Each structure stands twice: as C-alpha cells, then as structure tokens.
Structure 1
Amino acid sequence: MTRGGLFRALVALAGAMGAAGVALAAASAHQPDATRLASASSMLLFHASAVLAAVLLAERRVIQEHLGLAAALGFVIAAALFAGDLTLRQYAERSLFPMAAPTGGTLLILSWLMLALAALWPRRGV
C-alpha cells in the first residue's frame, strides 16, 4: 500500500469508528441498562479523533511517521476489540473472545505510548 493509500485507509477507518460511536451512543440512550454501549461509544469516538490526529501529525512529519502510523493502526484495532466485545456482550450476552476488552484496553495504552515515542524519536533528515 502506498503512503497516501495508508493515510486514506486510516482516515476512512476513523470515519467508520466515529459513525459506529454515534450509533452506539444513540442505542445506549434508548435502551435500559446499556452502560456497556456508552463505554463502547466513548472509546470509538475518542480514538477516531486520535487516529485522525496521528495521521495528520505523521503526514506533516511532526512525528516519526512509521511509529505514528503504527500507533494510529493500534488505536483502530484496539478500539474495535474493546467496543466490539462490549457491544457483543450487550446484544448477544457473550464475549468476542476471552479477555478481548482488556486486550483492547492494553493495546490502547501501548498505542498512546507509541505515539509519545513517535514524537520523541528523531526523524530522518531533520
């Protein structure tokens, strides 16, 4: 995949995360005992913005590009794991797989640390 293609793919995934986050927020507002959906919504909405920011910073070369894009991809995968597990628990009363939400949460933490490292890592040619 080309550099521009990867940027566009991540932006498209962030858009899908944002849309899913809004849909889950609406569902949580209209269903009884839907706190899982509210948490899933928050994770998707918050990290959709983080993906956009990481892509923009990488594209502008403010941060080390490869680490920044890896962090953005980590945000996508981790938020999907976390939100997917909570949503499945709400609607199907089962887990995505054992420890899916904690795995997603741990990957989110690691992705934030990778983004911090991308800001501190020396960029080539600068």
Structure 2
Amino acid sequence: MIATRLITCLAALIGAAGVVLAALSTHAYAGTSLNVAASMLSLHAPAILALAIGGRAGVLHAPTSVVAAWGLIVGVLLFSGDLGWRAYSGAAAFPMAAPSGGVVLIAGWLIAALSGLIGQARRA
C-alpha cells in the first residue's frame, strides 16, 4: 500500500514536471531537447499510474508491476533529467545518462508486459 501511494505521488510529480518542461521548451528554451524531455515525462506519468493501480486492483501481478513502475520512474528521470540538464547547462549530467535511462525504460516496459501476462495467467 505504501509503495502504491509513493509510486502514485511520483507519477503525479513526473506529470507535473512534464507540463513545466513543455512550457519552458516553448517559451524560454525553444529549439532545445527540453521538448523531448517534456514528452517523455508526460508519456510515462500515466503509464506509471496505470501500473500502480493495476497492481493494486489485481489486474496486473502486483510485485512485478511495482518493479516495472520503479523501472519507468528511474528510467524517465535519468533520460529526461539528462536532456533537461543539457538544455540548461550545455553538458551531459554524466556520461551515458540518457542512454542508460533509455535502457532502463525499455526494461521497465518489458517488465510491465510480463506483469500483465502473469496477472492474466493467475486470474484464469
């Protein structure tokens, strides 16, 4: 229950950050990779919410959905954080931050798929 609340809270904050970065990419930092960071945050926030709620409701395999949600959280923060940092400072947050975040995102989505398969198998 605590994990679901924390994941839900982080998903909402990620969504809010996506809206903020979208505004900044339009007005203050046009032409930078900030719009990609905003899109990634806005895209993944509802997916993270769905994983938290689906695991809690029993539609998804709960432990696996939590792992998938954390993967998406860490991945999107690494990926978007690096792109945002590049837009502000002109340099990477650390070497391979965005690609590492991308790999973690892919893994998170694959674990989410597994959570759905396991959840459906247990219900049948």
Q: What's the CA shift for 1:32? A: 4.8
Q: Which runs of 5+ in 2 are unaligned?
A: none
Letter aligned with residue 86 of structure 1: L
Of 68, 71, 76, 2:73 maps to 76
Could you say what secondary structure the match of 2:33 adopts? helix
User: 1:1-126, aligned counterparts within 5 Å?
Assistant: 4-121=1-118, 126=123
Q: Distance in 2 between matches of 1:122 and 1:8?
A: 20
Could you say what secondary structure the match of 2:58 adopts? coil
The answer on whether the counterparts of 2:29 and 2:87 sit within 8 Å (CA) in structure 1 is no
**Structure 1 moving runs of 4+ over 6 Å:** none
The answer on whether the counterparts of 1:85 and 1:96 sit within 8 Å (CA) in structure 2 is yes
How many residues get paired?
123
Q: What's the CA shift for 1:124? A: 9.3
What is the CA RMSD across the aligned residues, in angstroms?
A: 1.6
Counting aligned pairs with the same residue, the percent is 41
TM-score by length of 1: 0.91
